[in-house]
Structure 1
Amino acid sequence: MKLTFRIQYRTVWGEDIRVILNDDTEHPIALSTRDGNNWIGTTNYEAPVACVQVTYRYGVFCNGVCVRKEFGAIPHSFDIGNAQQTHYIMDDCWRDLPAASYKYSSAFNEPHPCVKPNQLNNHVGNCITFRALCPELYNKKQELGIIGSCNALGNWEYCRPLRMYEVQPNVWHITLDASSLTFPFEYKFAAINAKTGAVEEWESGPNRTFHIQPLLRGETYLPMESEVFFNLPATKIAGTAIPVFSLRSEGSFGVGDFGDLLTFIEWAAQTHQKAVQILPINDTTMTGTWTDSYPYSSISIYAFHPMFTDLRQLPALKDKEAAARFEKERIRLNALPQVDYEEVNLHKRNYLKAIFKQEKEAILSSKDFQQFFADNKNWLLPYAAFCFLREKYGIPEFTTWPEYADYQKEEIEALCDPESESYEDIAYHYFVQYSLHVQLLKACDYGRSKGVIVKGDIPIGISRTSVEAWTEPYYFNMNGQAGAPPDAFSTKGQNWGLPTYNWEVMEKDNYQWWRLRFSKMAEYFTAYRIDHILGFFRIWEIPTHSVHGLLGQFSPALPMSPEEIRSFGLDFNKEFMTQPFINEYMLQTMFGDKVNYVKENFVVHRHHDIYAMRPEFDTQRKVEAFFAGKTDVDSLNLKEGLYALISNVLFVPDRKNPDMYHPRIAVQNDYIFNRLTWNEKEAFNRLYNHYYYQRHNEFWYSEAMKKLPILTQSTPMLVCGEDLGMVPDCVPWVMDQLQILSLEIQRMPKDPKCEFGHVYAYPLRSVCTIGTHDMSTLRGWWEEDATVTEHFYHSELGHWGDVPKQAPGWLCKEVIEHHLKSPSMLCILTWQDWTAMDEELRNPNVDSERINIPANPRHYWRWRMHITLERLMKQTEFNEEIIRMIDESGRY
């Protein structure tokens, strides 16, 4: 058969348009043009045996290399018809994403069975195939139809539309005999009743008009695909964010589990909420201490944390005495106001091992387990081996293991062989992950059945002592630490201690590591939050010798040469500007009566009143090591002061090219900046603003567009981005182009000229919330700064008079209502903020509701609900108030 492609696309000199057929990137079909705008090309095509549908995308090529191609999840397509249809003519327009791509996501439109396209009899050779994209029908028990002004299209009679065929999810085709149509004609797409075939809703907009030149025998013409919209209100829903570990039920074991998650989803559905958002649930077990409670440093991007196992869903323990002991511990731990991470994991691990010993033969031989193992073997086997070796050698730092420090697939497969003496210990981890898989899938499937989005969280990083760092070290830069630059919540920046990504290597296999990670999440979730989406543009990379984040630099970035620095009017002096500046005034001011101790032990006198750090203390890590274990106030103050000395520089050398430099972040607050003259300060600020707010926009845009289109379109999940912090101008460009939902928080406005965000002006494609797990609750924030609270009370809420010192229930309710009535597609509030409006129900201890303090890298993640889920379900008045507020806001 012959294929002809036609598209309008404006190119620049040296570019050409080609068609990538059935994802065959090696043999694209070249098109030609006379004006650089209208492209056409014809090729002979032999369809594979049993091929029904052909898919294709357009790409822009330069010097034979594809520099851009359509990236949407839905490619163009056409159906192979009868033997008489020998020439297909496609008119197309460039399309990346549909206009409302969120409607195609699994959050609002689950994948569902489709049908084969209609095929005309062999006597029909001249055909027209209409193609349409429409995601709004599946859950309404409707189908898409076409109706028009000629008899073959029903003469506008509402009971005579032609049914179209959903050939892939939300893609509708119909092929008509061209000779049966009267040209020109008008037509519309319509939603028709799946049983009666009658029109129930008409697409919005004016009638479509069809003009066509006469077709030659055997030609099938395919006009441009149409996106069909009906006059429906915007999709808006409400939901709750809560960590799984924070859930509390009468039967949980001192920590929330996947069984509790199902119950929480049930509560959400009963209160007309359509979303439940959780924090990362991956395994973080490294030391076995409370420091493992940090959920954003996982040891596996696939494995779940064993503590989330619902022991109630496992077989009963036959040892009655042991069962009684565990029950006693369960009751004790479940009564605690917060999670005792170490005790909970100790007892749950012992219980899981007892159940495994009792049930291993039955479980490991079951058909369901065998299928799970086969589907997940690629990650499950090295994960289980890693856990076994971590416990055997008592340390997660695999580089120090006496054996298996360097991952060799064959050696690990031999270690995990069923005949190996280590097999039972390794298989235990298979069993735990299988149980977690079954329980999470059950909870998420329940959410689907109730129309509740279960929204997962993808951390930006992994632990440097993780399975992936062990098995795939080439994907990571181990000589750097990921973090975040300073902000209002962490003035010294954040150092997460995680390795950064080697994006150059990841690009070579089309980001397979990420695509597999996203695909695994899509088995459970219908939406996800990309933690720190800025990391896909650039990451704040901190050298391994630093503790704070101030000496970091963006990676990738465009450093500055000394000549360029001078071009801004600043005379570059390497020794003064890149080495810690320390003088007598600083030492006296910072250390007071401890100044002589500092001089004698940590610094050395150079000349005049200038000092330098001693070589044994010239990095923050060296200082940290000296003060290890010292927790008295004087030692802590001395340590922080020495950290500040070391970071007192104007420029940081580039990590790849030490002869190039980056201006140090937030240096205007430090002593070295005050040593500059007025003219030098002006020059530095011009340079600083250019570097941080102008220089990288196009560069970082291109970096993000290499990765995010591939990743966000690799699954049908709804994509939400956490776009907080120091946000470059290019971030909204990319998020808008890829239709990624932004995060809107009133106390962190996107517009720097505003003290607070304007809830009524939020974009539709956004998630609005009062606060996140990294922030204080609404009630906690209300008491932090009386000046800010007063401004908010008077200017944002419009109230007069004295400001309440504590946030009363009526005020919290008012703030919630403002958010519910915002234009944001998703309004997801923390559970603490929902309960804040009920003064009898909410926790009387405001401070205890804080989940995380980002400024503290060793924060203990342990907050739990102060009431049980069972009691929550019985709060009739509170629950009915949530229902009323959600319904009145149009979010149900």
Structure 2
Amino acid sequence: MTLRFFVRYSTSWGQQLSLALHNGRVLPMDWHDADHWTAELEWNEPELHYRYIFTQGWELKEQADRVLVFREGETELTLRDEWRQPGRLADNLLKAPFRDVYFHHPPQGVPRGGSHYFQVSVPLLESGREVALTGNIPSLGDWNTALAVKMQAREDGRFAVNVNIPPGMDVAYKYLLDGAEFETGENRSFHSSAACVIDDGFARFNHQPWKGAGVAVPVFSLRSEKGLGCGEFADLKLLADWASATGQRLVQLLPVNDTMTDNSWKDSYPYAAISAFALHPMYIHLPALGASEGYTAVQERLNALQDMDYETTILFKINALQTFYQNFRGDAAFDGWVKKNLYWLEPYAAFCCKRDGSSDVVFYQYVQYCLHLQLSEAVSYAHSQGVAIKGDLPVGMALHSADVSYMPELFDATVQAGAPPDEFAQRGQNWGFPAYNWPIMEVTGYGWWRQRLQHMAQYFSAFRIDHVLGFFRLWQIPRHTKEGILGYFHPAKAFTEQEIIDWGIPFEHARYCEPYITDDVLYRIFSADAVTVKSVYLEPSGDGRYRLQEAYRRQCDIHEEDPGIRQGLYDLITNVIFLEPSPGEFHPRFGLQETESFLALDAAVQESLLQLSLHFFYHRHDELWEKEALRKLPVLQSATDMLVCGEDLGMVPHCVPGVLQRLGILSLEVLPMPKQSGQTPAGAPYLSVVTPSTHDMATVREYAPGREEEVLRLHLEAPAMWCIMQLQDWFSLDGALCGRPPEEERINVPAVSPWYWRYRMPVTLETLCQTAPLNEKIRSMLRESGR
């Protein structure tokens, strides 16, 4: 079969379109004219999976795969496609929340039949409205709208129709809405061939920018009359009822991955996943599986607690699951699910067996199957109520996890991920996760990422990329270091010794790269304990300075020391100007101007160091980090149809807003963390999510007491596509629901690690659904703000 491709895309000198086939072949296309690229291909298989790739220098853009099934006996086919530019607003309006939940059209299936197959996307088309095709030839109605050809919805949310058109005709046509509204702009046109598939991208109908609102809450924070000790997947149904009744369209969750390592309260940390795929057994609803001995008594005791008792809850549920498992007999549905998911179930179950000293892998498969069924049922119900579910993609994996253990080549366990210091964590953050081995991931086609996201897409219509900045550059911390302040960016363009000297700094390795310790420094840090510290931990280094003894030069070496002096020893170790992750490669320490070492330098040298540091952290890497992101983020974006939001908070490189905008990834705008001085929600871009608080910070009641409604209205009136409030912030509108001090509503304090993630909503979901004053208030506020 001869395939001829015509792709509409206006390019300039140095740009190239290519055709990528699923067998790995990449075929460069030919420039045809100012608006088209072409390619010709001989193909002998019954179907074709292909995509278009744009390249310009180092920049690469890939589109999602397209699938073409050929008709029997077909010998030639023309494909008239449109390049779908990443970042277009219309692309986001066709993502899963809009296509599958808010503007869903039951698919009718439109296999190719006529000589010409038309397909087009129509965003934000309400249920019941119709799309048709009309044009200048009899088979298209001769522009008579009454004779226009009605189009049918496909499974992918697009509209399609088959039309028989003789070859050799000059065809002009347009799409028609509800039999009356023509799309805007000039007529579309082409010269007909024997057989043709025409992909027109988006129909040109005018529509108002869509704006929605939602609620953010961890599953464990939910409380219901039927739950046990924490929120469960089954509780998402009641939450969806409440969201729908108040006019909210989206429920945003924290990660729901399994985090079980030792069943202690430290496992409550939802970002330390032991599997990128497995769900947490904590979220199981036991009564759906059967009766559990002692359930009612434990339920009454745990549900009476203000916060979650993680250890008691998970222990009871695991014991109950083991009892249910004794009577479990697999069936065809279970066997089929296991076979489909074996790529992650096998390493996960093996990891759990090793962790628990067990040999029964089927038990862990059974638990995951039950969780899958319960979450799927809850999501399906939420969709029926017009509510989409948004998941959370953690930036890292736990060091001791199934993925790291069984796919070690994908990770770099010699370092750990974290974040540089900020106003919320002045010593930086150390998450303990291994870094990713991106070169290996790229060689393998990012298969692990694609599988991970496609697995998430079973449940979620949208997802938040936790710490999206990590896909530009990661804050890496040596494995032997405890505090994030001794981290450094990777990748980065480290300074050489000569470069530092060229900046006017009289570089000397011992003075700038080793801890600067003098008697004055010791007394300022340790006061009366200075003499003891000097005698136990230090040795003279000459010139009135000291160095740590070899046994105490790393933070991990002093982690078990007396807490009264441990932090002081940490401070000595971090009292450096430059870090040297690799020999001869120097990174300025973040916040070097605050060190005792810096303050002891001459004023001229201090000024040079400040300028060097400013250049390094804010200007030196823009192009490098942009390239990194444009290699990775399109993979995450093209793997599924989920709507993508990036959590771009913290020390944001200059290139980040432009990259997110180009790719159409929604940014996150948080009032207490403005991207520019004085920025308010009113200045948020349309492709963004605005929120007054996140799980890592104080709620509105704490930082804006007495102004809660004003702050919430400010966010609802923002031009952003989404306004998502924490459940606690919605509660601030009704004093009767705020029975706790504001500071106890906070879910996490990043500066404190480990932290017990245990907040639970103060009332049950059943009560919330019946709280008429609050619910009417939210409905009214959403209606008035156009959400």
Class of the TM-score when normalised by the shorter of the 2 chains: over 0.9
Q: 1:494 to 1:29 in 2, by over 3 A?
A: closer
Query: Where in structure 1 are there 5+ consecutive unaligned residues?
Result: 122-127, 193-197, 318-322, 393-421, 628-634, 783-806
Instruction: Provide Cα deviations, 1:651-695, integer angstroms capped at 9, x if missing partner.
Output: 1113xx311111111111111111222221221122112111111
- Aligned-partner SS, 2:430: strand
2:416 corresponding residue in structure 1? 481
- Aligned-partner SS, 2:524: helix
1:116 to 2:118 alignment:
no
* Contact 2:59–2:630 under 8 Å retained in 1: no
2:513 corresponding residue in structure 1? 578
What is the CA-CA distance between 1:18 and the residue it aligns to?
3.6
Q: 1:161 to 1:180 in 2, by over 3 A?
A: farther
1:641 to 2:604 alignment:
no
- Aligned-partner SS, 2:174: strand
- Distance (Å, rounded) in 1 between the aligned partners of 2:31 and 2:248: 53
- Distance (Å, rounded) in 2 between the aligned partners of 1:167 and 1:243: 34
* Contact 1:743–1:766 under 8 Å retained in 2: yes
Rg comparison, structure with higher value: 1
Q: Which residue of the other structure, out of 242, 253, 260, is the alignment partner of 1:285?
A: 260
What is the CA-CA distance between 1:157 and the residue it aligns to?
3.7
* Contact 1:282–1:295 under 8 Å retained in 2: yes
1:132 to 2:120 alignment:
yes
1:602 corresponding residue in structure 2? 537
1:791 corresponding residue in structure 2? none
Counterpart residue identity of residue 760, structure 1: A
2:675 corresponding residue in structure 1? 750
1:426 corresponding residue in structure 2? 361
What is the CA-CA distance between 1:243 and the residue it aligns to?
0.8
- Aligned-partner SS, 2:460: coil
1:691 corresponding residue in structure 2? 616
Which aligned pairs between 1:833-852 and structure 2 lie closer than 5 A?
A: 833-852=729-748
Counterpart residue identity of residue 484, structure 1: A
Q: Which residue of the other structure, out of 351, 355, 363, is the alignment partner of 2:320?
A: 351
Q: Which residue of the other structure, out of 715, 726, 729, is the alignment partner of 1:830?
A: 726
1:105 to 2:84 alignment:
no
Q: 1:118 to 1:141 in 2, by over 3 A?
A: farther
- Distance (Å, rounded) in 2 between the aligned partners of 1:219 and 1:572: 74
1:250 to 2:238 alignment:
no
Q: 1:118 to 1:249 in 2, by over 3 A?
A: closer
- Aligned-partner SS, 1:625: coil
1:760 to 2:725 alignment:
no
- Distance (Å, rounded) in 2 between the aligned partners of 1:609 and 1:54: 71
Instruction: Provide Cα deviations, 1:76-115, integer angstroms capped at 9, x if missing partner.
Output: x878679798463747557446542112211111286353
1:774 to 2:774 alignment:
no
1:440 to 2:440 alignment:
no
2:345 corresponding residue in structure 1? 380
- Aligned-partner SS, 2:213: strand
- Distance (Å, rounded) in 2 between the aligned partners of 1:677 and 1:712: 50
- Distance (Å, rounded) in 2 between the aligned partners of 1:523 and 1:91: 29
1:272 to 2:247 alignment:
yes
Query: Where in structure 2 are there 5+ consecutive unaligned residues?
Result: none
Q: Which residue of the other structure, out of 171, 174, 181, is the alignment partner of 1:188?
A: 174
Percent identity, aligned pairs only, is 35
CA RMSD of aligned residues (A): 2.8
2:633 corresponding residue in structure 1? 708
1:887 corresponding residue in structure 2? 783
- Distance (Å, rounded) in 1 between the aligned partners of 2:379 and 2:217: 15
What is the CA-CA distance between 1:223 and the residue it aligns to?
7.3
1:206 corresponding residue in structure 2? 185
What is the CA-CA distance between 1:184 and the residue it aligns to?
7.9
Q: Which residue of the other structure, out of 334, 353, 356, is the alignment partner of 1:369?
A: 334
What is the CA-CA distance between 1:461 and the residue it aligns to?
0.8
Counterpart residue identity of residue 116, structure 1: V
- Distance (Å, rounded) in 2 between the aligned partners of 1:87 and 1:285: 54
- Distance (Å, rounded) in 1 between the aligned partners of 2:757 and 2:50: 48
1:820 corresponding residue in structure 2? 716
* Contact 2:2–2:75 under 8 Å retained in 1: no
2:767 corresponding residue in structure 1? 871
What is the CA-CA distance between 1:270 and the residue it aligns to?
1.6
- Distance (Å, rounded) in 1 between the aligned partners of 2:489 and 2:75: 56
Instruction: Provide Cα deviations, 1:127-170, integer angstroms capped at 9, x if missing partner.
Output: x7655333334x52334322346665445443222234556624
Q: 1:248 to 1:348 in 2, by over 3 A?
A: same
Output the TM-score relative to the length of structure 1.
Answer: 0.82
- Distance (Å, rounded) in 2 between the aligned partners of 1:660 and 1:374: 48
2:298 corresponding residue in structure 1? 329
Q: 1:312 to 1:85 in 2, by over 3 A?
A: same
Q: 1:528 to 1:492 in 2, by over 3 A?
A: same
Output the TM-score relative to the length of structure 2.
Answer: 0.93
Q: Which residue of the other structure, out of 374, 379, 389, is the alignment partner of 1:454?
A: 389
Counterpart residue identity of residue 98, structure 2: F
- Distance (Å, rounded) in 1 between the aligned partners of 2:41 and 2:338: 45
- Distance (Å, rounded) in 1 between the aligned partners of 2:456 and 2:282: 19
Bigger CA drift: 347-356 or 861-870?
347-356
2:134 corresponding residue in structure 1? 147
- Distance (Å, rounded) in 1 between the aligned partners of 2:79 and 2:219: 54
Bigger CA drift: 595-604 or 476-485?
595-604
What is the CA-CA distance between 1:384 and the residue it aligns to?
2.2
1:31 corresponding residue in structure 2? 30
- Aligned-partner SS, 1:225: strand
- Aligned-partner SS, 1:142: coil
Q: Which residue of the other structure, out of 59, 68, 71, is the alignment partner of 2:62?
A: 71
What is the CA-CA distance between 1:241 and the residue it aligns to?
0.7
* Contact 2:110–2:154 under 8 Å retained in 1: yes
Bigger CA drift: 716-725 or 150-159?
150-159
1:48 corresponding residue in structure 2? 45
Q: Which residue of the other structure, out of 70, 88, 96, is the alignment partner of 2:78?
A: 88
2:484 corresponding residue in structure 1? 549
Counterpart residue identity of residue 265, structure 2: W
Q: 1:819 to 1:108 in 2, by over 3 A?
A: same
What is the CA-CA distance between 1:716 and the residue it aligns to?
1.2
1:671 to 2:596 alignment:
yes
Counterpart residue identity of residue 133, structure 1: S
1:721 corresponding residue in structure 2? 646
Counterpart residue identity of residue 23, structure 1: H
Q: 1:521 to 1:83 in 2, by over 3 A?
A: closer
Q: 1:881 to 1:87 in 2, by over 3 A?
A: closer
- Aligned-partner SS, 2:754: coil
Bigger CA drift: 668-677 or 156-165?
156-165
- Distance (Å, rounded) in 1 between the aligned partners of 2:403 and 2:410: 9
- Distance (Å, rounded) in 2 between the aligned partners of 1:150 and 1:276: 48
- Aligned-partner SS, 1:856: coil
- Distance (Å, rounded) in 1 between the aligned partners of 2:72 and 2:312: 69
